[in-house]
Amino acid sequence: MKVSGSNLLRVLNCAPSAWLPQPNRLIAAAVRGTHGHAYCQGRRDGLEHDAAMKARGIPEKYDAMMRSLPESLWNTGGTSEVAFAYNWREDTARVLGGDLQRQYDKAGLKRSSELPGTIDVAAVHKEARMGAVEDLKFITEQSRWRYPPPLRNPQMLFAALCMLLSVPELSAVEMKLVLVVMSDEDEYERTLILTGEVTLMDLAPFREALQATMADVWNKRGEYMEGPWCDECPAYCSCEHQVGLLRATLDTPPATGMFVVTPEQVAQALPRLLAAEKALEVAINAAKKLSDQEPIPLGGDRFYGPVPEDKRTVG
């Protein structure tokens, strides 16, 4: 099972997505994110804009995007690429280290009880008893749902929780989420900066939900919940709710239980699925023709077809 702070939005909504089989899939590299984080690292190394662009090999097309980033991403007063571990069994947290490149096991992560996560920037302001976490994301309008404001963002709340638990003298943590919005043509559009502040008391509901969800994940239980996260779920091809009907169309359906859909099975099922799609199209067209002659009552005040009073189609 692969659970970390970055995929908590999906796992908190659908625990089975974390423990169902997750076949290896070819996923396109997040080019914009790679360039953005490389640029920030160049600025942290003391390079000015032009020098950082050149040294990190960032295409000129991303110039406006990089110029839009807030300086707080490199003038941090803190540490970049900080990895945390939250012990969901004991409700404790610790700092695993900086710039681990998500190699959590090498830092001694205890998979049976600890949940890892990385945040772009973390800082401690001891005099003010305040902590700060900041994260940078490159998005499109279509992917905006994945990055809610900090106070509703599981990844940001996770980082804030870990900071407050690992640095007890802090009274609160300020969260900053930098969203760089790109067009579908990979052109820079605008930059949004969303902020929020939390205390341990504020995080009580999140802590409770996180502990309960991780217990479900560890014990391979929990409710399936369909939502926008399904399209990018690594367990999509083994989820009964997504591929159960496909399994039913196979010549020799696998035994009851979890299975992963293979290309061979899709090839076997596709002719039947296309035939079913065509049959449904014919049936729906027939229903429309019948309803054109006389609206079909659906119960209550609902009808299928043109309503005599105003000729609107409802239902």
Mean pLDDT value across residues 15-38: 72
Q: What is the pLDDT of residue 28?
A: 41
Where does the pLDDT of residue 307 fall: very low under 50, low under 70, confident under 90, or very high at 90 and above?
A: low
Task: Decide: helix, strand or coil at residue 193.
Answer: strand
Amino acid 162 reads: C
Lowest mean pLDDT among 28-42, 48-62, 108-122: 28-42
Are 176 and 150 a contacting pair, CB within 8 Å?
Answer: yes
Residue with tokens 């540490």: 79
Range among 15-19, 25-29, 153-157, 184-188 rated most confident = 153-157
Q: How many CB atoms lie within 10 A of CB 216?
A: 17
Q: What is the mean pLDDT of the chain?
A: 85
Whether the per-residue pLDDT at 8 is higher than 90: the answer is yes
Q: What is the pLDDT of residue 185?
A: 80
- Structure tokens, 212: 């309960």
Percentage of residues in the chain having pLDDT higher than 70: 90
Dump pLDDT digits (tens) for 253-305: 665 555 667 778 778 878 888 888 888 888 888 888 888 888 888 887 788 88
Q: What is the pLDDT of residue 103?
A: 85
> Of 232, 58, 62, 210, whose CA–CA distance to 145 is shortest?
232
Where does the pLDDT of residue 76 fall: very low under 50, low under 70, confident under 90, or very high at 90 and above?
A: low
Mean pLDDT value across residues 52-58: 91
Q: What is the pTM of this model?
A: 0.77
- How far apart are the C-alpha atoms of 85 and 66, rounded to whole Å? 30
Whether the per-residue pLDDT at 83 is higher than 60: the answer is yes
Whether the per-residue pLDDT at 308 is higher than 70: the answer is no
Q: What is the pLDDT of residue 10?
A: 93
Dump pLDDT digits (tens) for 210-238: 999 999 999 999 888 888 888 888 888 77
Which residues contact residue 211 at a Cβ distance below 8 angstroms, ignoring those fewer than 6 apart? 88, 91
Mean pLDDT value across residues 65-74: 85
Are 309 and 301 a contacting pair, CB within 8 Å?
Answer: no
Q: What is the pLDDT of residue 29?
A: 37
Lowest mean pLDDT among 119-133, 164-178, 186-200, 301-315: 301-315
Q: What is the pLDDT of residue 311?
A: 45
- Structure tokens, 257: 């239980």
Determine the distance from the C-alpha atom of residue 85 to the mean position of all C-alpha atoms in its chain, rounded to a whole number: 19
Domains and CATH numbers, the chain: 5-218 (3.90.320), 263-314 (no CATH)
Where does the pLDDT of residue 249 fall: very low under 50, low under 70, confident under 90, or very high at 90 and above?
A: confident
Task: Please list the residues that pair with 61 across neighbouring strands.
Answer: none
